[in-house]
Each structure stands twice: as structure tokens, then as C-alpha cells.
A and B are shown apart, each in its own frame.
Chain A
């Protein structure tokens, strides 16, 4: 018995025709620009292998992972590890520590490079400008371990320069790194010290892209330097600043592990213990991989939500965002 397919409705016909047309166009485009497709294939493969494939292992957050059965063979545990993390009273302290530290870094690190870039842009002396730029840029190339070592030596209660300076004014030496209240300022200041020069270069590039005729017009109109900065320079670098801000907020919970871990000691744990350091201790030192993966996944989800929200807000308020 021969069955005949029912005739296609008008909209279905159109959809089939348009999809086959799209496929034909794609094939034609591939044939014509195969070199470009080959070129883009390299980063796509790199992302797939080194970024997306490892992400699949985050499934151990929902499994009772053990090394013998492997990632895919371990028994399912559902949301047990998430519930266990949320039930731990220490967990929310860690979340707040991470959030406060990241927010402080973002709030204080964000405007300083803008100020530095604008100031450098105003300087006429090339020698002075290049010297300041080179010196402020240099710390970016120092590794975190060395920066932390420098911080420890600099703040040492016995031989540190900071305490020597305080002693001049009759102030007794302070053990900066043992005080939990001082951990966050130390972290933020060392971060500003290390990254300001590098971040300023990005803003300097944005300032260089501003049309000089705008400055000339402002000068002819009798604008002072401050007025030129407020009405030409700052609006000119605003899109760049917004992208950096959105990226910064998107990474607000993904604060670096190394510096907090290296500056940490038993006396300042109340503020220095953050999610990444806790994940390291739980996951690698206690070998509780599923618990560590659950905490890490929670952290990543918060980051993603923040990134999406800030991007929408930035697009609505300034018209520029990531996508």
C-alpha cells in the first residue's frame, strides 16, 4: 500500500524553502570564503577543547564523585552538595567576604586609571609623561607572588618601611597583616598599585581616538582644560569605561585566588577567607571535589547573572555594552 504524504501548508512550504535556501547560501559562502572559515576554526576548536569541554566536568557538582568510577560513572547526588553548602553558616560569610572584597576592588580600582590617563593626556612634557607611564606600567609585569612578598616586606612590623615611616611620627609599629580589618585595604591598595598603569593605557588609547577638532572647537569657544575634560574627554572614553566596568562587574565574584591566599594567615581569616580560597581548601586539601565543584558552580552562576544584569543596565543608561 502506497501512502502519500499530506500536502504541505503554505507557511510550512515557505519555511522548508527558506531553510534549504539558507543552507545553500551557507554552502556557497563556505566554498567562496573557505580560507576565512579555516581561520576562525582554530579559535573555535581551542574554545571547544579548552573551555567548553572542561565545563562538562562541572557535572560532578550533582554527583557523588569518586576517582575510581570517574566523572561520568559516579552516582547521582542531585542537589545534595548545594544544600550542604547553603546550610553551612560559614558559607554565607564567605560569599559576603568575596563580594565585599571584589566590590571594593572594583569601586576603587575603576576610577584611578581614568584619572591617571586624563592627567597624562594633559601633560605637555613628553619626557615626564613617558617616565610616569613607564613607571606606573611596570608593576603589572611583576607576578602576584612577588607583589605579595613585597607587600609583606613593606608592611613588616619590625623592618617594614611603612612602620619605619609611622615610627618617625611617634606611632607604634602596627602588624598590618594580622589585623583582619586591614586585610581589605591592603588587598585593594596593592591591586591599584599593580594594575593602574596597565588600565590607564587602555584609556589613553581611547583618549587618542577622540577627534582633535572637538578639542579645537572647545578651545575656540573658550573652554578651560577642566571643561574640555568634562565635556570632550570623559564622554569620549565613556564607552570604553562602560565595557571595562561591565566586564569588572561580571567578574566580581571571580576574584583572584592567589593574592588572597598568599596574604592570608590564621589571624586575618575572618576577612581573608573568600570563596576561591575555601574552594581550594575543600576541593584539593580535603579532596571533597563534588562540594568544591558545587561552590564553584554557584559562584559562576552569580557571575553570569551579574554580567547580564549590568550589561542590560549599561546599555539602557549609556547605550554601550558588551553585546
Chain B
């Protein structure tokens, strides 16, 4: 019986054996200096901050527009659990485009 791990190990070993250049390439690959690695961490942190700064207000406004008016005015809309009702998008006549949304959130 063949185990699932065996072929994977075998294949990797076989690849290295068949293509000695691969091993050589790995050995001679230019390693990024420490300053570059630190710089890249800084880049990722900076871009994550950009991402959050742009995204959070958008999500907050979407959460507000889908939340109950009383919850919005009471400041109870949060990122973690918006009191989603869809009532703020109801038409005055009583016909709602968001009935399904309301039902989904209440049920």
C-alpha cells in the first residue's frame, strides 16, 4: 500500500537528482540582505495601513446604510456586529426592496 507522504518526498528528491541545476540555483540564489527584508516588512505594514484607512470608512458607511435608523442615531453600529435590518432603505409607501434582507437578518 502506498502512503500519501511517500510519493511527495520521492518526487522532490527525484527532481533534485534529475536536475542538479536546481540544487545549484538554490545554493547560489542571491539572498536578500537584512535591510531589504526589514524594508519589505515596512512596505507591507504601510500598505496594510493604507488598506485599512480606506476600507474602514467605506465598510462603516455601508454598515450604517444597512442598519436600523435608531441604531445609527444611538451610535450602536460597529464593525463587529451591525444591527442589520435594511429598514433604512425602505420606501415610504411600505413596499420594500430589502424585505429579504430584513428577514435574513431577523431570522
Contacts and interface: CB of A to CB of B under 8 A. Distances in A.
Contacts of B55: 135
B57 interface: yes
A122 B77 CA distance: 37
A145 B68 CA distance: 22
B50 A153 contact: no
A225 interface: yes
A197 B50 CA distance: 10
A131 to B, nearest CB: 7
A150 interface: yes
B43 A119 contact: yes
Interface stretch (A158-166, A263-271, A309-317): A158-166
Interface string B31-69: 001011001100110110011011111101100100000
Interface in A201-228: 219, 224-226
Nearest to B61: A150
Contact of B60 (A135, A136, A161, A219): A161
Nearest to A118: B43
A116 interface: yes
A154 B57 contact: yes
A160 B50 CA distance: 21
Interface residues of B, number: 27
B61 A226 contact: no
Given A139-B58, A154-B57, A122 B43 contact: yes
The number of chain A residues touching the other chain, given as a range, is 20 to 34
Given A159-B73, A224-B35, A224-B39, A136 B54 contact: yes
Contact of B75 (A132, A136, A159): A159
B39 to A, nearest CB: 5
A164 B43 contact: no
B47 to A, nearest CB: 5
B101 interface: no
Is chain B's interface secondary structure helix, strand, loop, or mixed overall? helix
Contacts of B61: 150, 153-154
B51 A123 contact: no
Contact of A135 (B30, B35, B51, B78): B51
Contact of A132 (B33, B35, B51, B78): B51
Contacts of A224: 33, 35-36, 39
B43 A123 contact: yes
A250 B72 CA distance: 42
A261 interface: no
A225 B53 CA distance: 26
Contact of A197 (B30, B35, B54, B73): B54
Most chain B beta-carbon contacts within 10 A, residue among A115, A123, A135, A196: A135
B47 A120 contact: yes
A193 interface: yes
A167 to B, nearest CB: 9
Given A123-B44, A225-B39, A116 B50 contact: yes
Pairs of residues from A and B, 8 with the lowest C-beta to C-beta distance, nearest first: A159-B75, A225-B36, A119-B43, A132-B47, A150-B61, A225-B39, A136-B54, A122-B43
Interface of A: 115-116, 119-120, 122-123, 128, 131-132, 135-136, 138-139, 150, 153-154, 158-161, 164, 193, 196-197, 219, 224-226
23 contacts: A119-B46, A119-B47, A119-B50, A120-B47, A122-B40, A128-B44, A131-B51, A132-B51, A135-B54, A136-B50, A136-B51, A138-B54, A150-B57, A153-B60, A153-B64, A154-B60, A158-B75, A159-B74, A164-B78, A224-B33, A224-B36, A224-B39, A226-B39
